[in-house]
């Protein structure tokens, strides 16, 4: 909740200072603020989830969370998930988009939704294994 309030306050400062609409200000904040998943390590653009026991859908939503507003193409996701997860990846992503509303697909890229962010954070999926 604190992060959401701070995002809103920052958006309001940007809106007032630059005299832009609330949507434009929020877009700027979304580009500036990056949520980092400590459980994801970036190897020169290759994202690796460091929690081997995550279910495929949780694995995907963590990767979407890490990418934030950049989104993920199917090909990127396919290269980042474990080989055993690739066979049903299309169905998994469709489920995240159509049934759970944790992700959005614009025809080219998948994006995490606010509901998806809430799911990841409430279930502590981005916290490293102890």
Q: Are residues 10 and 49 in the same domain?
A: no
Q: What is the pLDDT along the chain (130 residues), one digit of tens a residue?
A: 676 677 778 777 787 888 888 887 777 776 666 666 789 999 999 999 999 999 999 999 999 999 988 999 999 999 999 999 999 999 999 999 999 999 999 999 999 999 999 999 999 998 877 6
| 37 DSSP 8-state letter | -
Q: Are residues 97 and 47 in the same domain?
A: yes
CATH number at residue 40: 1.10.10
Give the C-alpha distances (Å, rounded to integers) separating 61 from 14, 15, 19, 49. Answer: 29, 30, 35, 11
Q: Are residues 41 and 84 in the same domain?
A: yes
SS3 97: helix
Q: Are residues 15 and 54 in the same domain?
A: no
Domain total in the chain = 2
Q: Are residues 64 and 76 in the same domain?
A: yes
Domain hosting 4: range is: 1-33
Q: Are residues 27 and 66 in the same domain?
A: no
* DSSP letters for 60-80: HHHHHHHHGGG-B-HHHHHHH
Q: Are residues 27 and 42 in the same domain?
A: no
Q: Are residues 69 and 126 in the same domain?
A: yes
Q: Are residues 29 and 53 in the same domain?
A: no
Closest-CA residue to 97 (of 81, 113, 82): 113
Q: Give the C-alpha separation, 67 to 110, whole Å.
A: 10
Own/partner pairs, 99-107, CB within 8 angstroms, 24+ separation:
100/57, 102/61, 102/64, 103/60, 103/61, 103/64, 106/71
Closest-CA residue to 83 (of 56, 63, 57): 56
């Amino acid at each position: 909740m604190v992060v959401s309030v701070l995002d809103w306050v920052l958006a309001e400062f940007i809106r007032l200072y630059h005299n832009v609409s609330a949507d434009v200000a929020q877009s700027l904040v979304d580009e500036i603020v990056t949520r980092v998943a400590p459980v994801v390590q970036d190897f020169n653009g290759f994202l690796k989830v460091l929690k081997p026991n995550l279910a495929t859908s949780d694995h995907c939503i963590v990767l979407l969370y890490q990418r934030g507003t950049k989104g993920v193409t199917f090909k990127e996701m396919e290269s980042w998930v474990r080989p055993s997860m690739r066979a049903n990846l299309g169905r998994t992503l469709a489920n995240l988009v159509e049934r759970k509303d944790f992700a959005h697909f614009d025809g080219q890229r998948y994006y995490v939704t606010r509901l998806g962010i809430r799911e990841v954070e409430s279930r502590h999926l981005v916290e490293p294994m102890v």
